[in-house]
Amino acid sequence: MKILVTAFGPFAGRAENASSLALHELRVVFPEILTRILPVDSVLAPAQLEETLHWLRPDVLILLGEAAGSNSVRLETTAWNELDFKIPDNAGRQPTARAILPGSPASLSATLPMGEFHTLLAANGHAVSLSHDPGRYLCNQVFYHSLAFIELNAITCRAGFIHLPLAQDYPTARAAAALGHLLQAL
């Protein structure tokens, strides 16, 4: 089974991103997974993800991002067809109240078993929650874009998005352990 796990690089003037920190640690334990670090850029990130999905054709796609202010691993169940950036991306773009893909559905659902993932993580002592709101920043954008691209191109791939708390709120080793439980379950 080909598993692709993506994360984001730093943004908003910070030197690190909790998602890429966890991904680097996860890769040590699971060297067979395919990984990509996406730029915090509303044009480049979807394009790079699309190209990666086209060439790799993974069976599973796990998208990672960070959620400041959260103290639990958030399993996102729904992607929304809306861009409404509260801060600019790293290229200075700040779209507001705009569709990701005009004419497409208002929302798309994760195709990974997020409810089962929730049960598994909770049973292993992780702070975890199901979320129906991944925000309207790049996390939501790549989540929606990937689900739409997978469907449009008839790629057999289950996909979902996971928000991780900042490293100071949920240590990187703990976040990587949570992700490891999910990979083992797959």
Domain carrying residue 149 = 3-185
pLDDT reported for residue 15: 85
Catalytic residue set: 76, 139, 163
- Domain containing residue 10: CATH number: 3.40.630.20
> For 57-134, where are the alpha helices, taking DSSP H only?
114-123
| CB contact set of 149 (below 8 Å; sequence gap of 6+) | 49, 50, 53, 155
Closest C-alpha among 23, 51, 53 to residue 37: 23
Measured CA distances, 172 to 57, 117, 165, 182 (Å): 28, 19, 9, 16
Measured CA distances, 35 to 28, 38, 73 (Å): 12, 10, 19
Q: Please count the structural domains in the chain.
A: 1
Per-residue pLDDT for the chain (186 aa), expressed as one digit of tens each? Answer: 999 999 999 998 888 999 999 999 999 999 999 999 999 999 999 999 999 999 999 999 999 999 999 999 999 999 999 999 999 999 999 999 999 999 999 999 999 999 999 999 999 999 999 999 999 999 999 999 999 999 999 999 999 999 999 999 999 999 999 999 999 999
